[in-house]
Amino acid sequence: MHPAALAALEQRLAQARAAHALRRRSPRAGTALRPTLDGRPIVNFASNDYLGLAADPRVVEAYAQGAARYGVGAGAAELVSGHTEAHAELEAALARFTGRPRALVLSTGYMANLSVVTTLASRRSAVIEDRLNHASLLDAAVLSRARLVRYQHLDTDDLAAKLAACPGALVATDGVFSMDGDVAPLPRLVEVCKAEGGTLILDDAHGFGVLGARGRGTTEHFGLAAPDVPIVVGTFGKAFGGAGAFVAADEVVIEALMQFARPYIYTTALPPALCCAMTVSLRIVEGEPALRQRLHSNIHRFRRLALARGVPMAASNTPIQPIILGQNARVVAVAERLLEMGYWVAAVRPPTVPAGSARLRVALSAGHTEEEIDGLSDALAACL
């Protein structure tokens, strides 16, 4: 590497270090919710395993049986020879689950958003997005070469004004926002898009499995019909307990993604064994509402206890409970103290969140016990 380029990288790293913004990985052993770090048991409140399915024996067994049947990897991109019966079965189940004609499985949520936006937008069009959308949606708009327009967070009047100036634009929003835990005002977004001719794309990665009586996400939560939200993106790495993603839409959109979406075309297919596991996860998500009830009971318990102990809680009724402290150094220090006490909570800092809004991101799961939630509430009160 050229010395000047290397020096520039070293300077960026030094600046991030000085700002307490360096991210570090902690190699864990064990399952998502109750791992060990350096041989010490930890309760994980930094995981998106919202229903505790990552270690569910039925899902694990489906993965093992799938690996025995198909092997470890798909061996090729889907359009070459990587598409298996396991992929087809999962896609059919997802189409039924979302109430849409077709679904397409992809390897990551980032790839799914990139595929949708870059296929549907071009340098002659515009993409209008909530300012706090996930990075994958924002990056997708930039990479599509379309004009990216951002509206104020959850401000549908601002969206309406911007869409009126860009008729026919794509409108993209998270369903549940990943760092704040708040929910998009989807009924009003649908109204604005219908009135102004926008095409709505919903990234419901943190909504599927969590919201709605049958876990169908933000659209079900608000009682909307599938045609109201023509394109939805979901991931398997949250409530489904696995990895990978999907897009559900009408026939034309899915066929266009298969033919033109470069992230889909040029990536090895999701392992078929994982598709087997996610098909079982989907059945559990849809067929066992008691898991969601337990999750929401845990959310309410945590909020009640934390607020009673003076913990500065944001207004969120989803598993994502941000505790905004503002300063990077303070967030890091509190997260390290919590880890010493046996609780793993993510210290989220810019650029993942806006400057000055560094936070602890507590992620709750149906798999957490009341005792674990009570313990975290006590630990937070002691640290803040």
144 is annotated as an active-site residue? no
Chain-centroid distance, C-alpha 114: 14
Q: Of these residues, 47, 107, 144, 178, which one is catalytic? A: 178
End-to-end CA distance of the chain: 44
Q: Which residue has the tokens 């507590």?
A: 362
Active-site hit among 87, 134, 162, 206: 206
**Cβ neighbours of residue 120 closer than 8 Å, sequence gap 6 or more:** 170, 199, 201, 253, 256
Strand-pairing partners, residue 150, are: 129
- Could you count the other beta carbons within 10 Å of the beta carbon of residue 368? 26
**Residue of 83, 87, 238, 368 with catalytic role:** 238
Look up residue 190 and give its two tokens.
């649908």
Report which DSSP code applies to 271: P
Determine the Cα angle at 279 with ends 276 and 282, to 5°: 155
Helices 272-287, 289-308: crossing angle, 10 deg rounding: 80
What is the C-alpha separation between 313 and 102, in angstroms, rounded?
40
Q: Is 2 a catalytic residue?
A: no
Question: What is the distance between the alpha carbons of residues 127 and 76, in angstroms, rounded to a whole number?
Answer: 32
261 touches 108 (CB < 8 A): no
User: And the tokens for 123?
Assistant: 């340098």
State which amino acid sits at residue 118.
T
Q: Note if 194 is an active site residue.
A: no
Name, in order, each residue with C-beta under 8 angstroms of 30's C-beta and a sequence gap of 6 or more.
Answer: 36
Length of the chain: 384
Alpha-helical runs (H) found in the chain: 3-18, 57-70, 85-98, 109-120, 135-144, 156-164, 186-196, 218-221, 251-260, 262-265, 272-287, 289-308, 328-340, 370-383
Q: Residues with catalytic annotation?
A: 178, 206, 238
